[in-house]
Structure 1
Amino acid sequence: MRILLSTYGSRGDVEPLAALGAALQAHGVEAKVSAPGDAEFAALLARAGVTMAPAFAPVREWAKEMINRSRSASPEGRARLIAAQAAEIVARQYEALSAAAEGCDAVVAFGLFPSCAAARLVAEQHGMRYMLGTFCPVWLPSPHNRPHEYPSHPLPPGVTDNRLLWEMDIRTKNALFGEAVNGQRASLGLLPVENVRDYVYGNPVLLACDPTLGPWPGSDLIDAVQTGAFILPDERPLLDGLEAFLDSGPPPVYVGFGSISVAKEAGSTAIAAIRARGLRAVIARGWAELGTVDDRDDCFAVGEVNQQVLFGRVAAVIHHGGAGTTVAAARAGAPQAIVPQIGDQPYWARRVAELGIGAANDGPVPSAESLSAALDVALAPETSTRAAAVAGKIRADGAEVAARLLIELAGQPSR
């Protein structure tokens, strides 16, 4: 049996699929991951022992280009840019996935909507089973949450009926992605689809997040199978220099903001807030190449690092609220201070606060006052106690649960 796993996004999108691929291979399934061809992802998948099939483009430079294009655009201009990007992604990703899917029995797609649309088209053309996956409940139609708001397609003020909003979401996705999907279908001699959202989502959906952190209350709008987060075991030791830094004083505070646009400003603010409390910091460079700001010996900068080990040795984790970092910190029992920006980050920040294992910054751009307030909550003794208690509830078997489910489904006739 062969299963293709597809995503297009940052490390938080790729690492879980490395874990799922490894779990599938432990059951004798030949797994392949289509992911951006950045060197860091190639190394990650090689470490997991999973074959990589490069997606249509590396993601770092592509993301920078898209951000630069959208900065000066109006909401209407950003909507047109999204539609144009979608058409490019669907067409180019369709070609990449068509080659990768040869001989496969199923494809499972995560990541950007247009990338998932391309995977759905490939599955249809190859007669393979298809399944969409997501790492957060907020992306799924449900009476319990509102849909994502897109530029030039705001959710109407005063409307509180989530069912109605999800109906409107169908029209929004048709407006933004319909031409991309149906244009590609036309090029393949296929009839258009009237509802691109439900075509790409399919039913059921694989919900790959921890039920304690991100519970799924169920929905009559879509069926979701919650497996738990996909966690890739990491046995790598910490670098000698980092080990020495950790051993030389009290537990530091970890600071990492991944690929978010305010990373540099947030990093400097975080270091100042940490130093104001007489604490030390470990700075994750990330896409913004954060550094130590000066030559004082109370900060240590790291690149690629084993978070599973490191987070067990820090006083708190300041981060952007990505699903992967949130579950890694929660699993290690590390209190969290989150500076959420986009996508599902506000949801994870809210859940961390609701669980009592940390706090969210008040607003997307942290000031010295706002981040200090969040850090005060994270460093409080009661937060540390609660974080340790919640750590014992975080499941580590999500990839295994999903692997068994996919093996069962892949053996059934495609629909």
Structure 2
Amino acid sequence: MRVLLSTIGSRGDVQPVVALAVRLRELGEEVRVCAPPDFRNWIGGLGIPFTPLGPELRSTGKADPAAAPPSPEQRRRMVEASVADQFETLLVAAEGCDVIVAGGYLVVAARSVAERMGIRYVFAAYCPTALPSPHHAPPPLPTGGAPVDGTADNRELWEQDARRWNAVFGAALNSHRASAGLAPVDDVRSHMFTGRPWLAADPVLGPWPGPGDPDVVRTGAWILPDERPLPVELEAFLDAGEPPVYFGFGSIRAPHDLGRTMIETARALGRRAVVLRGWAGLAPPADEPDCLSVGEVNQQALFRRVAAVVHHGGAGTTTAAARAGAPQVVIPQNFDQHYWARRVDDLGAGVAHPPGTPAVGSLTEALGRALRPDVAARARSLAGEVRADGADVAARLLVAVDARGSS
């Protein structure tokens, strides 16, 4: 079986796809990955054929979060360019493939390309609230836009959400479908998600609401095993004192002066700090013995050696911290991060900080609560409940369906 796995987004969108690719390859299947060019060296270094999709995204991490959002006309042109590039790139990358798997929420052309080529298509979401259900409201579109109307019930909110998907992507998608000889779609979101989407989220951290909801295939989170040693400098810092607090916002934009806020928060509680620079370039003050700035490292190893993890609420970071048994403070910024903040708080394994830019006082209060013995104990207990086999479940499902010759 030949599989094309595709996604658009930051490392949190790409790493699950890579985890599935690695597991499929271990099962003897042929895999290719389409993702932003930022990840070419990493994925190529794993020996996985790689095709760049769309522009580089790393610069978005250093963009000013307070800057004005794109105008409607700028957003329209960005969407048109992205959809055009997806059709062009995926048609070439999927040549000879049996199935396209789209991970995340922005590869809107993947199903149309699969339809044009007569091959199977699978859509996978990383968070329950990204999929329609009367039990929860939709998140904001991953492209941004106005928040949902909080006065409506969930069914009405999902209808509003569908109309927003059509308004943002409908014209561009149907224009390219017409050029490919395909019929127009009148519901972009349902077309993209299919009637049986996959949910690549841990069943404890991100459970599907329950019976009576749409048909969803729950595989568990797609986790990429990481055996890399920690850098020598980081190992020495960890060995030099009590477990520090980890601070990081991954590859998303960070609020202004967040690095300094993080260090002052740790010091207010008498803690040392490890700060992930990330795409935003966060950094503590230079030459300070109680803090260390690091690049991309093995979170699975690091999180087992810290007192707490303070982060933005990406699905991957949330799951990694939960697997490591580390208490969390989640400062959500957009899309599904608000959900993961609530889940960590509801499970008693950490604290949900209010969205947006934290102040030293509010972050100190939240971290202080997360470091309490009862929260730390619950985080350690939760670690034993989080599964690590989601990529294997998904890979074997793909292989089994291919063996049956049906979708």
Q: Give TM-score scaled by structure 2 length.
A: 0.94
- Within 5 Å, give how 1:110-259 maps onto structure 2: 110-113=103-106, 115=107, 117-149=108-140, 154-159=147-152, 161-218=153-210, 220=212, 222-259=214-251
State the match for 2:27 in structure 1. Answer: 27
Q: 1:11 to 1:186 in 2, by over 3 A?
A: same
**Contact 1:153 1:172 (C-alpha < 8 Å) held by counterparts:** no
State the match for 1:84 in structure 2. Answer: 77
1:80 CA drift (Å) = 4.2
Q: 1:313 to 1:143 in 2, by over 3 A?
A: same
1:72 and 2:64 aligned? no
1:79 CA drift (Å) = 4.4
Q: Residues 70-95 of structure 1, C-alpha deviation per residue, up to 9 Å, x if partnerless?
A: 9435xxx6444433322111111111
The whole-number CA distance in structure 1 between the counterparts of 2:150 and 2:338 is 19
State the match for 2:55 in structure 1. Answer: 57
**Contact 2:329 2:353 (C-alpha < 8 Å) held by counterparts:** yes
SS of 2:271's partner is coil
SS of 2:181's partner is coil
1:351 and 2:343 aligned? yes
The whole-number CA distance in structure 1 between the counterparts of 2:301 and 2:44 is 20
Unaligned segments of structure 2, at least 5 residues: none
1:314 and 2:306 aligned? yes
Choose which of 77, 94, 107 in structure 1 pairs with 2:87.
Answer: 94
Which deviates further from its counterpart, 81-90 or 323-332? 81-90
SS of 2:355's partner is coil
Paired positions, count: 405
Q: Residues 27-57 of structure 1, C-alpha deviation per residue, up to 9 Å, x if partnerless?
A: 111011111111xx23332454422221132
Which deviates further from its counterpart, 371-380 or 404-413? 404-413
The whole-number CA distance in structure 1 between the counterparts of 2:228 and 2:285 is 28
What is the identity percentage for the equivalent residue pairs of Structure 1 and Structure 2? 51
- Aligned-residue CA RMSD in angstroms? 2.1
The whole-number CA distance in structure 2 between the counterparts of 1:149 and 1:280 is 35
1:36 and 2:36 aligned? yes
SS of 2:257's partner is helix
1:380 and 2:372 aligned? yes
The whole-number CA distance in structure 2 between the counterparts of 1:327 and 1:24 is 21
Which deviates further from its counterpart, 308-317 or 191-200? 191-200
SS of 1:273's partner is helix
SS of 1:108's partner is strand
**Contact 1:134 1:208 (C-alpha < 8 Å) held by counterparts:** yes
State the match for 1:361 in structure 2. Answer: 353
The whole-number CA distance in structure 1 between the counterparts of 2:191 and 2:405 is 18
The whole-number CA distance in structure 2 between the counterparts of 1:275 and 1:156 is 40
**Contact 2:269 2:368 (C-alpha < 8 Å) held by counterparts:** no
Amino acid at match of 2:80: A
SS of 1:308's partner is helix
**Contact 1:143 1:219 (C-alpha < 8 Å) held by counterparts:** no
Question: Which structure shows the higher helix fraction?
Answer: 1
Which deviates further from its counterpart, 22-31 or 50-59? 50-59
Q: 1:357 to 1:57 in 2, by over 3 A?
A: same
Amino acid at match of 2:244: P
Choose which of 394, 399, 402 in structure 2 pairs with 1:407.
Answer: 399
The whole-number CA distance in structure 2 between the counterparts of 1:171 and 1:338 is 30
Unaligned segments of structure 1, at least 5 residues: none
SS of 1:107's partner is strand
1:103 and 2:96 aligned? yes
Q: 1:247 to 1:339 in 2, by over 3 A?
A: same
1:393 and 2:379 aligned? no
- Within 5 Å, give how 1:279-290 maps onto structure 2: 279-290=271-282
